[in-house]
Amino acid sequence: MELGVASLALLCILFLIIALIYSSVGFGGGSSYLALLALMSVSFYVMRSLALVCNIVVVGGSVYWFLKNRHFKLSEFLPFVVTSVPMAFLGASYKLTEQVFFLVLGIVLVLVALILFWQTTHLEVLEREPIKTYPNWINYFLGGSIGLLSGLVGIGGGIFLAPVLYYLKWGPPTKIAALASFFILVNSISALSGLIYSDDFKISFGTAIFLGLSVFIGGQLGVRYSFKNLSSKTIRRLTALLVLIVGVRVLLINALAL
The angle formed by the CA atoms of residues 78, 80 and 81, to the nearest 5 degrees, is: 65
Q: What is the pTM of this model?
A: 0.84
Of 108, 109, 76, 81, nearest to 176 by C-alpha is 76
Q: How far apart are CA 199 and CA 114, in angstroms?
A: 33
Question: What are the CB-based long-range contacts (under 8 Å, 24+) for 4-10?
Answer: 7/40, 8/207, 8/210, 8/211
Q: What is the DSSP letter of 168?
A: H
Q: What are the tens digits of pLDDT across the range 19-66?
A: 988 887 778 888 888 888 888 878 878 888 999 999 999 999 888 888
Q: What's the domain count of the chain?
A: 1
Please say whether the beta carbons of 162 and 22 come within 8 A.
no
Please give the residue range of the domain that contains residue 33. Answer: 5-255
Mean pLDDT across 205-217: 93
Please say whether the beta carbons of 45 and 36 come within 8 A.
no
Q: How confident is the model at residue 235 (pLDDT cuts 50, 70, 90)?
A: low
Taking 80 as the threshold, does the pLDDT of residue 223 lie above it? Answer: no
Taking 60 as the threshold, does the pLDDT of residue 257 lie above it? Answer: yes
Please say whether the beta carbons of 34 and 236 come within 8 A.
no
Q: What are the tens digits of pLDDT across the range 164-190?
A: 888 788 888 778 888 888 999 999 999
Residues 6+ apart with CB under 8 A from 236: 116, 117, 119, 120
Q: How far apart are CA 230 and CA 129, in angstroms?
A: 25
For 142-155, give one letter per residue: b (16+ CB within 10 A) or e: bbbbbbbbbbbbbb
Please say whether the beta carbons of 208 and 8 come within 8 A.
no
Residue 120 Cα distances to 115, 186, 226, angstroms: 9, 27, 18
Task: Give the helix ranges, DSSP H, for 94-135.
Answer: 98-126
The pLDDT assigned to 126 comes to 59
Please say whether the beta carbons of 219 and 55 come within 8 A.
no
Mean pLDDT over the full length of the chain: 84
Q: How far apart are CA 142 and CA 149, in angstroms?
A: 11
- 3-class SS of residue 127: coil
- Alpha-carbon 6 to chain mean position: 25
Of 219, 203, 184, 221, nearest to 44 by C-alpha is 203
